[in-house]
Amino acid sequence: MTSEIQTRVLRKITWRIVPFIMLLYFVAFIDRVNIGFASLTMNKDIGLSPAVYGFGAGIFFWGYFLFEVPSNIILHKLGARIWIARVMITWGLVSAAMAFVQGATSFYILRFLLGVAEAGFFPGIILYLSYWFPARQRAAVTALFMAAAPLSTVLGSPISGALLEMDGLLGFKGWQWLFVLEALPAVVLGFVVLGFLTDRPEKAKWLAEDERRWLVETMNLETTSKAATASHSIWRGLADPRVLALSLIYFGTSAGLYTLGVWAPQIIKQFGLSSLQVGFLNALPATAAVIAMILWARHSDRTGERTWHVVWACLIAAAGLAYAGLATGVVAVLLALALVNIGISSAKPPLWSMPTLFLSGPAAAAGIATINSIGNLGGFVGPAMIGWIKDQTGSFVGGLYFVSGLLVLSAALTLLLSRVKIAPVEPVPQTH
């Protein structure tokens, strides 16, 4: 039976932390993938070919790759409050500057700088959650946080489509308004973070004394219990073969995720729809993904099983991408994109529950950032390959099949990783 204080504390920290970090990720993801909607008119305005656009959209992740590990180590040492605020303010300013790109070179430079500015946000939040939530509840909490990504598509797609309709207002293009107006919330929220976010449970004055004591003792006990098997040093976290395996698994899921963000609007628009129509239709598959990922993560926590929850989700996404390559009508494409959205979104919470089972302290900061930085290179490879193949063939089909294959590989690697010993997760006890 779950203790009364556990129920009370988990409810309180969930309501205090999760909605806020969801809002931050919501804004982050819009600024990361609004390039997909901007491309509907921007590419023609500044002369970007599909190959140049795909490469530039994906070069964001090279900035991520180079700066993510040091960023997360700084967060672990300096504290989430100051560092997350820095991240948000700088990425908001760079994202707004995207309104002034004039060609391929400035497009490449600003997308790279956006990756540098945002490096550390996502793995920093994953690390932050490991300070506050026991392992048994972490997949469900991670799912709530990560639901902000598909939610940003649900709500952001119609908004982005509508902003494109502002074309000509005050002499600016619609895509320029899109970049500026969608960047402002990041800057504002960066300053809010300074006053709202609490670095560690020990500093949580918004918890009662007995609640704070229970949470600190629980998290310290969890850290102690894995001390014999967990990697603690930065170099152990970087060198652990399980970190490399999870990086490669995440590579495939990132390729799928950013294929959606960067190319889905163009895939839908090829059926002759307006930008506003594309905005509303692009929101539908992501709506299904929000519901599916939360239910899937809860089932993973309830059963204590991670491997097959990742495997099946990756295979569903792979099937959706393959089907999208065959689809000849807008309804079929939307069904295919729904499968991709559901699979990609559902794979991530159980996947992100794995590293903190065998990493602790500085090793967790370095290991999580390594998984995210290497894995997110899939966000470069997927969109870039689709752009290059479309330039060569005039079709999205070959690129979609390529990314589908990466997701099948992720599923296979997850099964191989399951043969390596990772600390077991106890099923969440049922309340009575």
CB-based burial, 368-387: b 16+ in 10 Å, e otherwise: bbbbbbbbbbbbbbbbbbbb
* Both structure tokens of 98: 């995207």
pLDDT at 382 over 80: yes
> What distance in Å separates the CA atoms of residue 350 and residue 232, rounded to the nearest whole number?
22
pLDDT in tens, 189-217: 999 999 999 999 999 999 999 999 999 99
Q: Is 83 exposed, middle or buried (0-12, 13-18, 19+ CB in 10 A)?
A: buried
CA-based end-to-end distance of the chain: 6
Of residues 423 and 156, more confidence is placed in 156
Least confident of 57-61, 63-67, 221-225, 371-375: 221-225
Average pLDDT of the chain, as a whole number: 85
Q: Is the pLDDT of residue 117 over 50?
A: yes
Local confidence band at 309 (pLDDT 50, 70, 90 cut-offs): very high
Given a cut of 80, whether residue 227 has pLDDT beyond it is: no
Sign of the dihedral defined by the CA atoms of residues 12, 16, 19, 24, in that order: negative
| Beta carbons within 8 Å of 383's beta carbon, 6+ residues apart | 54, 57, 58, 258, 259, 262, 263
Share of the chain above pLDDT 70, in %: 91
Q: Where are the alpha helices (DSSP H) in 98-173?
A: 104-118, 121-132, 135-146, 148-164
pTM: 0.74
pLDDT of residue 431: 42
Least-confidence region, from 3-12, 113-122, 131-140, 304-313 = 131-140
The number of CA neighbours under 13 Å toward the Cβ of 184 is: 5
The domains of the chain, with CATH numbers, are 1-226 (1.20.1250.20), 239-420 (1.20.1250.20)
CA atoms within 13 A on the CB side of 347: 30
Q: Are 85 and 191 in contact (CB under 8 A)?
A: yes
Spatial separation of the C-alpha atoms in residues 168 and 267, rounded to whole Å? 25
Closest to 419 in 3D by CA, of 275, 307, 285: 307
* Long-range contacts, 112-115 (Cβ 8 Å, 24+): 112/59, 112/60, 112/62, 112/63, 113/63, 114/31, 114/32, 114/60, 114/63, 115/59, 115/60, 115/61, 115/62, 115/63, 115/64, 115/65, 115/67
Distance (Å, rounded) from C-alpha 251 to C-alpha 175?
Answer: 29
State the Cα–Cα distance between residues 326 and 309, nearest whole angstrom.
Answer: 27
Query: Which residues are CB-neighbours of 207 under 8 A, at least 6 positions away?
Result: 9, 12, 13, 201, 215
Mean of the pLDDT values across residues 220-224? Answer: 80
Question: What is the pLDDT averaged over residues 123-131?
Answer: 85
Give pLDDT, residue 161. Answer: 86
Query: What tokens does 192 get?
Result: 């809010």
Q: What is the largest CA-CA distance in the chain?
A: 65
